[in-house]
């Protein structure tokens, strides 16, 4: 069999490593030339228009129960080895459909409310302050490793009530899982690393859950262990899966919201100055960062029946990728979509999803980003990108973030 040339199989270059620097020109062409098309290397339909992505999120014929996609093409023997991974992922709300999704999300939402997250705001302010204090007196700072990475790790760890010294172990497991979940089609090595991460995550949480059952403490883990509705509790596997999912969901996404948003601002100094002068615009600015350069570029579904999207016939069992990052740049929905504009009026981006799976941690991610930008602007209003800095991106098509973001701080405001 002759291999299909890459320029035919992947006409918009999504899999090309160079595309990490700028996936957006490829999305713009996709929106113009083939808004719904089959991508051979990923074995999936890519859906890019705002209207189609929005409808796709709400369409119950597009299933979230899709963990089989991770083990597609594996031998029976490998599949057996991967069972613990499949078991853990199968109880993430992210990979469930109604009615199991509705029940589990309802129980988690009891413990993880926007009000509870808002109550964390002062603690998040203090943590950002501590991380910035560590840069006091320095000329330069590396934003990803010194601020954007540690902040979400500490916040989700404290929220769950995990010992502080464990946070880097948890981060490593979470990164290993990202390799599995953030790619169109994971390699054997990524699946194996994901399996090891799950085994370690579960062993770690099993002990803590047992402790919280007998001696509840004032944290999210205890709240989850004791979350109950009509005599219905989370099972042991659901607890393990939910802890894994929250830790995972709470890490890289927020890191990349801070990194991508700051880079966008530093490349548009007039927007930085506008925000420094009018900090009340910050909540809207964070929405614009989410729209402009999303930490999560797409998500997957599986067609439950034969159906049609944007004039294309999709068959039962086929994979459908909802390309939020492309939808956010759809000129049919957003005026001048390639422009960063913190005063933009239409802010309903697709970055946090839509419909039944709308991001559970949205409020938390927003608060962390708002407080980080507020503190950076207040303390370092002359912050600049380090001249000549090379910007390398995480090697993933699905998760978009910088490996490092070196800045020159400028004089600290008193
Ligand atoms: C700030 C940046 C974030 C982005 C861009 C983001 C993005 C998303 C997206 C796109 C979805 C929907 C996926 C789908 O429908 O297939 C989602 C769901 C979810 N997110 Fe986030 N997220 C962020 C922050 C967080 C945080 C901080 C947490 C937790 C601490 C979190 C936990 C979750 C969970 C648990 C779900 C699954 C909800 C469900 O299945 O019902 N996320 N997120």
What mean pLDDT is reported for the chain? 91
Confidence at residue 2, expressed as pLDDT on a 0 to 100 scale? 46
Q: Is the CB of 155 under 6 A from ligand 1?
A: no
For 94, 112, 288, the CA distances from 360, given in Å and listed in that order, are: 10, 8, 19
Distance (Å, rounded) from C-alpha 347 to C-alpha 340? 12
- Nearest-5° Cα angle at 11, 9 to 13: 105
Evaluate if residue 152 carries a pLDDT over 60. Answer: yes
Q: Is the CB of 261 under 6 A from ligand 1?
A: no
How many A from CA of 247 to the centre of ligand 1? 11
Q: Of 112-116, 205-209, 230-234, 290-294, where does mean pLDDT reach its minimum?
A: 230-234
The residues, any chain, with a CB within 8 Å of residue 80's CB and separated by 6 or more, are none
Q: How far is CA 5 from the centre of its chain?
A: 31
Closest C-alpha to ligand 1, atom 37? 94
The preferred substitution site among 159, 321, 352 for testing ligand 1, maximizing ligand atoms within 8 Å of CB, is 352
Distance (Å, rounded) from C-alpha 44 to C-alpha 331? 24
* pLDDT > 70: percent of the chain: 95
Nearest one of 187, 179, 150 to 167, comparing CA atoms: 150
Q: Is the CB of 364 under 6 A from ligand 1?
A: yes
pLDDT tens string 314-370: 999 999 999 999 999 999 999 999 999 999 988 799 999 999 999 999 999 999 999
Closest C-alpha to ligand 1, atom 31? 361
Query: Could you tell me the end-to-end alpha-carbon distance of the chain, in angstroms, rounded to an integer?
Result: 68
Show the tokens assigned to 217. 């403490």
Confidence at residue 4, expressed as pLDDT on a 0 to 100 scale? 54
Reported as a pLDDT band with limits 50, 70 and 90, residue 31 is very high
Evaluate if residue 237 carries a pLDDT over 60. Answer: yes
pLDDT tens string 154-206: 999 999 999 988 988 888 888 888 777 766 566 778 888 888 999 999 999 99
Distance (Å, rounded) from C-alpha 349 to C-alpha 351? 6
Q: Is the CB of 303 under 6 A from ligand 1?
A: no
How many A from CA of 253 to the centre of ligand 1? 8
Q: Which domains does the chain have, with CATH numbers?
A: 6-408 (1.10.630.10)
Q: Is the CB of 406 under 6 A from ligand 1?
A: no
CB 96 within 8 A of CB 234: no
Confidence at residue 214, expressed as pLDDT on a 0 to 100 scale? 94
More confident site: 392 or 182: 392
């Amino acid at each position: 069999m002759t291999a299909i040339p890459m320029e035919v199989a992947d006409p918009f270059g999504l899999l090309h490593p160079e595309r990490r620097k700028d996936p957006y020109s490829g999305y713009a062409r996709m929106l113009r030339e083939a808004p719904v098309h089959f991508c051979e290397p990923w074995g999936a339909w890519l859906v890019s228009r705002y209207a189609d992505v929005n409808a796709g999120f709400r369409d119950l014929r597009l299933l979230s129960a899709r963990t089989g996609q991770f083990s597609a093409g594996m031998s029976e023997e490998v599949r057996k080895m991967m069972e613990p991974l499949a078991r853990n992922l199968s109880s993430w709300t992210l990979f469930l459909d109604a009615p199991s999704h509705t029940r589990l999300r309802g129980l988690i939402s009891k413990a993880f409310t926007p009000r509870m997250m808002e109550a964390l705001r002062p603690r998040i302010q203090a943590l950002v302050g501590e991380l910035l204090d560590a840069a006091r007196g320095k000329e330069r700072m590396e934003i990803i490793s010194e601020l954007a990475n540690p902040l979400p790790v500490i916040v989700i760890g404290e929220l769950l009530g995990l010992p502080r010294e464990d946070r880097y172990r948890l981060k490593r497991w979470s990164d290993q899982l990202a390799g599995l979940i953030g790619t169109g089609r994971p390699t054997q090595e990524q699946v194996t690393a994901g399996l090891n991460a799950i085994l370690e995550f579960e062993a770690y949480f099993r002990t803590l859950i047992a402790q919280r059952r007998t001696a509840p403490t004032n944290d999210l883990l205890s709240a989850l262990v004791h979350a109950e509705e009509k005599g219905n509790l989370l099972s042991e596997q659901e607890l393990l899966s939910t802890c894994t999912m929250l830790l995972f969901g709470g890490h890289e996404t927020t890191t990349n919201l801070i990194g991508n948003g700051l880079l966008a601002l530093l490349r548009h100094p007039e927007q930085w100055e506008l925000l420094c002068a009018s900090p009340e615009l910050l909540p809207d600015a964070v929405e614009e960062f989410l729209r402009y350069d999303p930490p999560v570029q797409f998500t997957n579904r599986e067609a439950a029946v034969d159906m049609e999207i944007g004039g294309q016939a999709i068959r039962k069992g086929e994979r459908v990728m909802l390309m939020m990052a492309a939808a956010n740049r759809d000129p049919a929905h957003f005026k001048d979509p390639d422009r960063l504009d913190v005063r933009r009026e239409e802010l309903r981006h697709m970055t946090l999803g839509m419909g039944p799976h709308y991001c559970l941690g949205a409020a938390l991610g927003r608060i962390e980003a708002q407080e980080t930008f507020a503190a950076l602007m207040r303390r370092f209003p002359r912050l600049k990108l380090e001249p000549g800095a090379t910007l390398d991106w995480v090697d993933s098509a699905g998760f978009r973030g910088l490996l490092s973001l070196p800045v020159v701080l400028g004089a600290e405001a008193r």
